[in-house]
Amino acid sequence: MSNDILENYIRLVQRVDSHTRRVDAAFSGRMACKKGCDACCRYLSIFPVEAFAMARAFLNLDQDRRERINARIKEAPEVCPLLVDHVCVLYHARPLICRTHGYPVTFESDGALQVDFCPLNFKGVQHFDQEILISLDQLNQVLFAVNARFLDQIDTEPLLPDRIPIGDALFLLA
Ligand code: SF4
């Protein structure tokens, strides 16, 4: 699979990463989120475009590691199989939900805008400036459009489901 077909997705990932780097800098020392803090690494379902990006990265792991991860899917189905010894094996290729998790996000619920973030982070912070907040509704809209464009460009038979469990996603290109 060429990079071109994932270009829009890669660009979106870069935008999100650049935003979260700014948040890291603004709240330096007030975020618990770091390597080993992995309570949020549960079993996920992701969009096909993310699934293919992860499957491609997964192919670059050595066979032993791929087999170990495959075994983990059966051993602990509720935990993300990529979490090995408290470290994400494909951290550089993790999906967008993992890139935004724990950061201050907004989303609409029952007609009202809600703000959420990991309770371990931002201790004592009472207010977030608008530019710090990630609108999950907007991000999901863009991701949805990027995914739709990606699906237009590939030809799969049978058609892919709307969301793909991470354990299946890893083996899409195997
Ligand atoms: S992909 Fe990586 S960061 Fe995301 S849930 Fe799995 S182990 Fe955690």
User: Mind listing the pLDDT tens digit for each residue in 81-100?
Assistant: 999 999 999 999 999 999 99
CA 90 / ligand 1 centre spacing (Å): 7
Does residue 74 carry a pLDDT above 90?
Answer: no
**Ligand 1, pocket-test mutation among 84, 89, 91, 103, most atoms within 8 A of CB:** 91
Partners of 88 in the β-ladder = 83
Higher pLDDT, 117 or 29: 117
What is the average pLDDT score of the chain? 93
Q: What is the mean pLDDT of residues 137-148?
A: 97
Q: What is the mean pLDDT of residues 41-46?
A: 92
94 CB less than 6 Å from ligand 1?
A: yes
Q: Which residues contact 17 (CB under 8 A, 6 or more apart)?
A: 99
Does residue 163 carry a pLDDT above 90?
Answer: yes
Q: Which residues contact 56 (CB under 8 A, 6 or more apart)?
A: 1, 6, 93, 173
Does residue 2 carry a pLDDT above 90?
Answer: no
88 CB less than 6 Å from ligand 1?
A: yes
Q: What is the mean pLDDT of residues 48-52?
A: 97
What was the pLDDT predicted at 70? 93
> By percentage, how much of the chain surpasses pLDDT 90?
75
Cα–Cα distance, 90 to 57 (Å, whole number): 7
CA 68 / ligand 1 centre spacing (Å): 16
Higher pLDDT, 15 or 38: 15
pTM for this structure? Answer: 0.92
Q: What is the mean pLDDT of residues 42-57?
A: 96
Structural domain boundaries in the chain? 4-169
What DSSP assignment string belongs to the chain?
Answer: --SGGGHHHHHHHHHHHHHHHHHHHHTTTS----TT--TT-B--EE-HHHHHHHHHHHHTS-HHHHHHHHHHHHH-TTB-TTEETTEETTGGG--HHHHHTTS-EEEEETTEEEEE--TTSSTT-----GGG-EEHHHHHHHHHHHHHHHHHH---SSPPPSSEEHHHHTTTT-
Does residue 119 carry a pLDDT above 80?
Answer: yes
Residue 161 to residues 48, 82, 142: CA-CA distances in angstroms?
Answer: 8, 21, 19
83 CB less than 6 Å from ligand 1?
A: yes
Does residue 1 carry a pLDDT above 80?
Answer: no
